[in-house]
Amino acid sequence: MAMTGERLPYLCDRLQAFGGASVFAEMSALAVRTGAINLGQGFPDTDGPAAVAEAAVEAVRGAFNQYPPGIGYPVLRQAVAEHQRRFWGLEFDPDTEVLVTAGATEAITAAILALAGPGDEVVTFEPYFDIYPADISMAGAERRLVQLRPPAYTFDPDELAAAFGPRTRMLLLNSPHNPTGKVFSPDELDVIARLCVEHDVIAVTDEVYEHLVFDDNAHVPLATRPGMADRTVTISSGGKTLSFTGWKIGWVCARPELVRAVQAAKQLLTYVSGGPFQPAVAVGLRLGDDFFDGLAADLQARRDLLCDGLSAAGFEPVVPQGTYYITADIRRFGASDGLEFCRSLPERCGVVAVPVQVLCDDKAMGAPFVRFAACKRPEVLEQAVERLAVLASR
Ligand code: PMP
């Protein structure tokens, strides 16, 4: 979690850096206390398709209420395999190459615990999704971070190459990327793939925003790049795609021996979870193209609304290629510390954002940026934009 730095009694040293009150919780509490619009946390404020919700209700009334099989119900594994073929041309055997998990969160944690340990290094990018450094620490491994530099959030291929060494065990990639909204290009993925092959490293990819991609950008799974099919653990979940973030149904797709390794850790964490939501997510993954296209188009319109509003208010937003998020430079306000800025924003204009520096080891790089979530109803975003406009008039 993105921490504020307090030390917790009893908590072991390994987790001290990750155990205190998270900045997300602090900002959400601030939103409640001040009546501010919360554009901090990334969850939609409307539910997903009614047909998917109905399928969950039916499953609760039916035969899905006891422990599911350890690898997940066949109907969902089949739907995940179909989805991977339909959208990305990836082939997975639903019986041996798909594992259902408690959200992408458990999939990522289980993959890291299973595949990296003390003495191993995990290469990943910063800013990062906040569980990555915590999971790497829980595994007793070490992180090697490569910077995605604002405003374009590109990385230096030499820096990435230098992060790989004899102890590198894993490359952990999130694309489309939280918090930057970056969608890694095929050329960038090929640089990453070449290094994984050269150093015989396993890649773990977090693709939970796979369907939230805008303009001419396209999501490309790392597993499709040369040499990667057999060495990639591809992770996603139904939360963001189906707008049911509370259901926590995720999955791992990889070759059988990698799936078995991840399952060894997963079965010790939750064993199984989410019985009746599994067949419901299967219904969601089989929805027509109109649903998936509409999802991206709808979110793109919200992104544009919020980006325009942020610009008008005096921010310099980085227009994201995908995801729920927009990062914005605060230096035009004469500010340089995003944490301080976010703590004062609700009082100043009634909107909550989160500071990017809590998602970086290099605080100086993240400090001038704050992150807004665009996954709220248009009327909520319009109201937020109106409130933000007071910053421009000061
Ligand atoms: N990965 C990323 C990059 C995310 O942003 C999130 C949710 N914010 C998750 C994983 C968690 O996914 P799930 O809810 O399926 O556990």
Q: Is residue 309 within a helix (H) or strand (E), and if so which, with residue range?
A: helix 289-313
d(CA 128, ligand 1 centre) in Å: 12
Are 373 and 325 in contact by the 8 Å Cβ rule? The answer is yes
Concatenate the DSSP letters of all residues of 29-78 into one string: HHHHHHT-EE-SS---SS---HHHHHHHHHHHHTT--SPPPTT--HHHHH
The CA distance from 176 to 91, in Å, is: 21
Q: Is the dihedral of CA 372, 376, 381, 384 positive or negative?
A: negative
Q: How many Å separate Cα 384 from the centre of its chain?
A: 24
pLDDT of residue 23: 85
pLDDT at 24 (0 to 100): 85
pTM metric for this prediction: 0.97
pLDDT band at 5 (very low <50, low <70, confident <90, very high): low
The count of C-alpha atoms lying within 13 angstroms of the C-alpha of 17, restricted to the half-sphere facing its C-beta, is 14
Q: Is the pLDDT of residue 2 over 60?
A: no
For the cut 90, the answer to whether the pLDDT of residue 20 exceeds it is no
Rounded Cα–Cα distance for residues 381 and 206 (Å): 27
Atom of ligand 1 nearest to the CA of 177: 3
Which tens digits make up the pLDDT trace of 252-309?
A: 999 999 999 999 999 999 999 999 999 999 999 999 999 999 999 999 999 999 999 9
Q: Does ligand 1 have an atom closer than 6 angstroms to the CB of 248?
A: yes
- Does residue 241's CB lie within 6 angstroms of at least one atom of ligand 1? no
Q: Residue 267: what pLDDT?
A: 97
pLDDT for residue 166? 98
* Residues in the chain, total: 394
The residue whose CB lies within 8 Å of the most ligand 1 atoms, and thus the one to mutate among 132, 178, 219, 233, is: 178
Q: What is the pLDDT of residues 74-132, one digit of tens each?
A: 999 999 999 999 999 999 999 999 999 999 999 999 999 999 999 999 999 999 999 99
pLDDT in tens, 214-257: 999 999 999 999 999 999 999 999 999 999 999 999 999 999 99
Query: Which amino acid, 34?
Result: T
126, two tokens? 């910063």
| Ligand 1 pocket test target in 204, 237, 277 with most atoms within 8 Å of CB | 237
115 close to 169: Cβ distance less than 8 angstroms: yes
Distances (CA, A) of 7 to 15, 102, 130, 133, 137: 10, 29, 18, 17, 17
The residue whose CB lies within 8 Å of the most ligand 1 atoms, and thus the one to mutate among 100, 183, 206, is: 206
The pLDDT assigned to 146 comes to 98
Which pLDDT band holds residue 17 (cuts at 50, 70, 90)?
Answer: confident
